[in-house]
Amino acid sequence: MIQPIYLYGSEVLREKAAPADLSKKEELAKLIEDLRDTLKRSEGCGLAAPQIGVSLRVLIVDGDEMEEVYPYLKGFKRVMINPEVLEESASLCEYEEGCLSVPGVYCTVRRPERIKVRYWDETFTEREEEFDKFACRMVQHEMSHLDGVLFTDLVAPIRRKMISKKLINISHGKVATRYNAKVK
Ligand SMILES: [Zn+2]
């Protein structure tokens, strides 16, 4: 079911999300379905459970929306339950990020170039996988949500100052979105 997306200023986006209980399969399957439906409706490339108001460590990424910019992302889709970074490269790289919870704001963010992640997929199978390029960035961005961190926290201070008015407006609900959104 399509759920409203919580916007910048919402408390749930600032909480450290709790680990999901893998024995609650039905509940998790419903959450994953909600994330998928909501992401599809909003035409984004990733969504974390806190963004639909559920403070659990579950996220999805879907590269199809980014295919025009990064053709290698076609068909790149993952569901990650309780993801954990096992290794990250010392080398950093920059990409422009945006976020369905921070509409209309795009900033260059520096993060590790490659990561190795352990997670459980939607069949509740444990996996270890390495990511690089923009696929890595999508996973990193969503994982930050699970720790209450937004990409706007990671931009250079001068840039953050430039976007501060926009962020205040979003937190007051003064923003137009193509999808159902709320601040709470
Ligand atoms: Zn986001």
- pLDDT tens digits, 91-135: 999 999 999 999 999 999 999 999 999 999 999 999 999 999 999
Specify the pLDDT at position 12: 98
For residue 107, give both structure tokens: 């900033």
Residue 142 CA to ligand 1 center (angstroms) comes to: 6
**Among this protein's residues, is 142 annotated catalytic?**
yes
Specify the pLDDT at position 72: 93
Residue 100 CA to ligand 1 center (angstroms) comes to: 6
CB atoms within 10 A of CB 93: 16
Active-site hit among 87, 128, 130, 142 = 142
For residue 78, give both structure tokens: 């993952």
Span 131-154, average pLDDT: 98
Architecture of domain 5-182: Alpha-Beta Complex (3.90)
What is the distance between the alpha carbons of residues 18 and 162, in angstroms, rounded to a whole number?
33
Q: Is the separation of the CB atoms in 16 and 148 below 8 Å?
A: yes
For residue 171, give both structure tokens: 């937190």
Specify the pLDDT at position 154: 96
For the segment 12-22, what is each residue's pLDDT rounded down to a tens digit? 999 999 999 99
Name the residue ranges covered by the structural domains of the chain. Answer: 5-182
